[in-house]
Amino acid sequence: MRTVRIQQSPFSYGDESDAFARQAGPAGAVVTFLGRVRDEGGRLSAMEIEHYPGMTERAVTAILDEAMARWHLTAGLVIHRHGPIAPGEAIMMVATAALHRGEAFEAAEFLMDYLKSRAPFWKKEFGSDGAEWVAAQDADEDALRRW
């Protein structure tokens, strides 16, 4: 079971995690990860995420397909939001299910590394000192090399 959802609306991490675990098949291990907007010590008032409709779904699906094949996942899920998101709110989640935990953890880390710099999303932060596009870090690119 492979699920990719690119959406503006909020989602419930608890409900999504429960639903994912229920349809995870014979997996002995389920790993879930939730990414949220940091408030940067109160300096951040909002985040806006732009994306490339069409390419986003293609790129995320390709990344998830690779993870599912490489770690023999019984199920995989990526939910990623776009549009305005407030500090503390969920941006995205991934869930992986595998026979053993090693595969589920590794696949989740792979998904996070690739979603960060190979899925067409761009974050803009709005704070007390204006608005600024978040710059990609060299470390994000380096993180891909271990895979």
> In angstroms, rounded to a whole number, what is the distance separating the alpha carbons of residues 74 and 26?
7
Query: What is the rounded CA–CA span in Å between residue 38 and residue 118?
Result: 22
Measure the N-to-C terminal CA separation of the chain; round to a whole number of Å.
Answer: 23
User: Are 131 and 43 a contacting pair, CB within 8 Å?
Assistant: no
Complex with other proteins: residue 13 or 52, whichever CB lies closer: 52
Residue 87 phi, psi (nearest 5)? -55, 135
Closest distance to other proteins from the beta carbon of 140 (Å): 8
Six token digits for residue 73:
């996942």
Nearer to other proteins, 65 or 140 (CB): 140
Nearer to other proteins, 27 or 95 (CB): 95
CB of 6 to other proteins, least distance (A): 10
Choose between 103 and 125: whose C-beta lies nearer to other proteins. 125
Q: Are 74 and 26 in contact (CB under 8 A)?
A: yes
For the chain, give the longest Cα–Cα distance.
51
Binding site for other proteins (CB under 8 A): 35, 50, 52, 54-55, 58-59, 80, 91-92, 112, 115-124, 133-136, 140-141
Which residue lies nearer to other proteins by CB, 10 or 28? 10
